Structure 1
Amino acid sequence: MIVAFSVSPSAGDETGGVSEAVARAVRVVEESGLPYELNSMFTNVEGSWDEVMDVVKRATEAAGVGASRVGLVIKADIRPGYESGQLSGKVDRVRDWLGD
């Protein structure tokens, strides 16, 4: 399964930025050892249902340190039989169609 998730605390720094909170969340993902990709809007993480949801929960908690609430957006690709290699595999299959 691949999950794309985005976390954001209710209050940012003095400029409204949430980079520090997001960095705490990404650190949780990195330390999990699961394959992941980071982009400007989401963090994509790949693994089994239980692994991924545990990481999302802990990352959300980390981002929310000191905040009164946290927004969480999750999108999941649940494809039985495909628990690894799909972060790049899905993109590779599209690139094959594009002739890249």
Structure 2
Amino acid sequence: MIVAFSITPLGVGEGVAEPVARAVKVVRESGLPNRTDAMFTTVEGEWDEVMDVVKRAVDAVAEVAPRVGLVLKADLRPGVTDGMTSKVESLEQHLDH
């Protein structure tokens, strides 16, 4: 499965980079394939391991924020691995034509 999620620390003021960095650190240390951009962090793996990473990332932010918002989008496709890369490669091939 591929999960794209965004964690928003609430009640910490305008500067949210430090609390968000705590979440990204959890994801990167998980060992699962992942990618972070300006809006979302995407992680790929089995259901239980991905959801565990998301929970731990939320918990890391909750340690420094009184309230946490979570937006999550999941692509559940049994039997597919390396979907984060293969989906983009397929798109690029279509753009090249």
TM-score (norm 1): 0.92
Deviation, structure 1 residue 67: 1.8
Q: Does 1:55 align with 2:67?
A: no
Aligned residues: 97
Task: Look up the match of 2:34.
Answer: 36
Alignment check: 8 A CA contact 1:6 1:74 kept: yes
Residue identity matched to 1:3: V
Query: Which segments of structure 1 move beyond 6 Å, counting only runs of 4 or more?
Result: none
Alignment check: 8 A CA contact 1:8 1:64 kept: no
Task: Provide the rounded CA distance (Å) in 2 between the counterparts of 1:26 and 1:67.
Answer: 15
SS in 1 for 2:94: helix
Question: Percent same amino acid at aligned positions?
Answer: 57
Deviation, structure 1 residue 8: 1.2
Residue identity matched to 1:18: V
Task: Provide the rounded CA distance (Å) in 2 between the counterparts of 1:66 and 1:98.
Answer: 43
Ranges in structure 1 where 5+ consecutive residues have no aligned partner: none
Q: Does 1:12 align with 2:12?
A: yes
TM-score (norm 2): 0.94
